[in-house]
Chains A and B, each alone.
Chain A
Amino acid sequence: MLSETSSEEPVLEVGEFYQLLTAHLESSFGRRRPHWVRGEIAKVYEKGHVYVDLVDAGSASSDTKRPVLNAHCWATPWAPLKRRLADEGISLRVGMVVSFHGYVDVYAPQGKIGFSITEIDVEGLLGDVARRRQELIARLRGEGLLERNKSMVVAPVPLRVGLVASPGTEGCADFTGQLLNSRFSFQIVLVKTQVQGEAAPAQIVGALRALDDAGVDVICVVRGGGSKGDLACFDDERVARTIATSSTPVFTGIGHTGDESVADLVAHTRAITPTKLGEEIVELVALWYDVHVQRPAGRVVEAVTDVLDEASTYLAERRRTMIFAVRDRLRAEERHLLGTRERLVIQGRHVVESATRMLVSSRQLLAAYDPTRRLAQGWSIVTDAQGAVVKSLGGVHVGDEVHVLVSDGSFTSNVTQTKGSST
């Protein structure tokens, strides 16, 4: 209902005023005339719907006269927008500069004129996120933090492994599976953390510090694949700085092949997946094991074999040598005895021949003295009564009977006279 005042201007009821206002606003800023509005998020609140207070970028919060746009996005349009932002690793945060597409929305019961969001400039936000990420990397590089953890010396046998991960996730299982199914006895010290979401960075930082204090050989930060939003916590500056300044080497196995987080950049070693990280840890131990255990063991086996072969060869050779030496020695003795025997036979033959010659000579000599021959020559042999040969006058006396032997017989004679040859 319209009424008139003294100045003849129409007087509107409140509802009529809002209808008029809404009509005017909708004609220029309504659903069919949407606008892009750019500003800095001063407040953000989400409960099904999302409510955002947008101010001019760079304006001071102390400025009580700075313009504020009360923007909101109802749950129905917000759900797909939120998913899209999350896929890119973006969440609406205070301080973020963002462009909203939407229209003016008048809520008469509270007398509020708001801005209903229908679209968000994700590409612009991505550019902003990328810029912030590059700025962070540049700062870390400037402070020498990209190389700091890489300069840490990894223990020769990293069997005590600190693990920052969310148990039950595929990435965690892939990583621990590599270690636990290896031939080495890894000790895994797990500190549970969320690996995505708002709370993740603080939890990851706490886990890294706890493991750094626990004296593990290496700390592994593990997270399976996911959207950029899922992995956004690994681009967090707090996480990056904690990794860089850790006194323990930090290895990362985050996401898929193509993902590279700031955490990866500052880490000592980066593997492209949790599985690959597990393989690399196992390989480190395997390399040490090969050099310090396997190869020496192989050399021991070879040396033992060589010693045994050498001893066997030695004994076989000594045995043969002994057999031949004894045989040679015995043959030498046999030859010596045979030679001696032959020499004895020859010498014996000489002795016999010599004796024979001596006997012949003696026989000839004896023949010269044969009495028969003397008797035949006219010699005789006189014997006394006792048969003794009378060789001189002393052997006979006058009157004795003597026997005279001649060549052809004998006769008996009486001694009648003796006479010496000198007389």
Chain B
Amino acid sequence: MSNVSDWNEASSELNAIVASFDEGEVSVDDLFVKLERATTIIEALEARLALTKAKVEELTPRIAKVTEGE
């Protein structure tokens, strides 16, 4: 999860990697490096998302009391 900045910056970096693949700019030598970096970013963002979801799940019953008018 190292060197993964905030969501938007990490997402931009991930999009750039995918775009470089789409445009065929990735050499075989760079392929593994870029794949490894993309995997690192995806795993970091998924972990961050899972953590956020857990926090949301924790808050959901509390906000449900408001939305359900208890």
Contacts and interface: CB of A to CB of B under 8 A. Distances in A.
B1 interface: no
A297 interface: yes
A301 B69 contact: no
A315 B22 CA distance: 17
Interface string A274-316: 0000000000001001100110011011001000100110110
Given A311-B49, A333-B28, A319 B42 contact: yes
A130 interface: no
Contact of B31 (A290, A297, A330): A330
Contacts of B11: 314
Contacts of B18: 318, 321-322, 325
B17 A322 contact: yes
A393 to B, nearest CB: 72
Interface residues of B, number: 29
A231 to B, nearest CB: 36
Interface in B17-70: 17-18, 21-22, 24, 26, 28, 31, 35, 38-39, 42, 45-46, 49, 52-53, 56, 60, 63-64, 66-67, 69-70
Given A298-B67, A329-B21, A322 B60 contact: no
Nearest to B18: A321
B55 to A, nearest CB: 10
Interface in A304-360: 304, 308, 311-312, 314-315, 318-319, 321-322, 325-326, 328-330, 332-333
Contacts of A308: 49, 52-53, 56
Instruction: Classify the secondary structure of A's interface with B.
Output: helix
B49 to A, nearest CB: 5
Most chain A CB within a 10 A radius of its CB, from B11, B26, B66: B66
Nearest to B64: A301
B33 to A, nearest CB: 12
A304 B56 contact: yes
Interface residues of A, number: 27
Given A315-B45, A325-B21, A183 B53 contact: no
A318 B38 CA distance: 9
A297 B22 contact: no
B22 A325 contact: yes
A300 B66 CA distance: 11
A289 B46 CA distance: 36
Contacts of A304: 56
Contact of A312 (B15, B31, B49, B60): B49
Nearest to A307: B52
A333 B42 CA distance: 25
Contact of A322 (B42, B56, B67): B42
A322 B39 contact: yes
B66 A293 contact: yes
B56 A315 contact: no
Nearest to A308: B53
Most chain B CB within a 10 A radius of its CB, from A289, A294, A319: A319
B17 to A, nearest CB: 7
Contact of A315 (B49, B60, B64): B49
Nearest to B69: A294
A326 B18 CA distance: 9
Contacts of B45: 311, 315
B62 to A, nearest CB: 10
Contacts of A312: 49
Contacts of B46: 315
Contact of B67 (A301, A311, A314, A318): A301
Interface of A: 183, 286, 289-290, 293-294, 297-298, 300-301, 304, 308, 311-312, 314-315, 318-319, 321-322, 325-326, 328-330, 332-333
18 contacts: A183-B70, A290-B69, A293-B66, A297-B67, A301-B60, A301-B63, A301-B64, A301-B67, A308-B52, A308-B53, A314-B11, A315-B45, A318-B15, A318-B42, A322-B21, A325-B21, A329-B21, A329-B31
